[in-house]
Amino acid sequence: SRFETCWPALMKDSHGVIIIFNPELPSHLKEIEMWYSCFVQQQLLPDSQCLLVAHHKPGSAGDTENLSLAYPLNKLKLIHSNLEEDPEDVRMEFMKYFRSIITLINESREREEMSIIS
């Protein structure tokens, strides 16, 4: 991709990764493996800090139940977004995800402060 030169700057000190894809495009299913590899595995970011969002476009026959992703993507938290049908549900999932990341950041900051003090 033409933006690959920017990736190191994007990844630096990142605490979480959200990968949004169109589950109806087979090419996207291959691409998310590459994104996961570069942005999560190579950064040694825990899987719990990665969120996959399968976004269903309006009017698409979004079969949300039968999206089976291969390992290692099947270990990740996956939510389906369909902003026509259930925007509130997606909002709640995003809030949960952000809360978990903020908690992690606060905990690691506290640990650092304690190690400086002791």
pLDDT tens across 46-79, in order? 999 999 999 988 777 655 556 888 899 999 999 9
pLDDT at 103: 95
Question: What pLDDT score was predicted for residue 117?
Answer: 87
Q: Which long-range contacts (CB under 8 A, 24 or more apart) does 85-92 make?
A: 90/53
What pLDDT, on the 0 to 100 scale, is given for residue 100?
95
Q: Which domain does 50 fall in, by range?
A: 4-117
Return phi, psi of residue 98, to 5°: -65, -40
- Per-residue model confidence (pLDDT) at position 29: 84
Count of structural domains within the chain = 1
Q: What is the pTM of this model?
A: 0.82
Edge-to-edge strand ranges of the sheet holding 50-55: 17-21, 50-55, 77-81
pLDDT of residue 64: 58
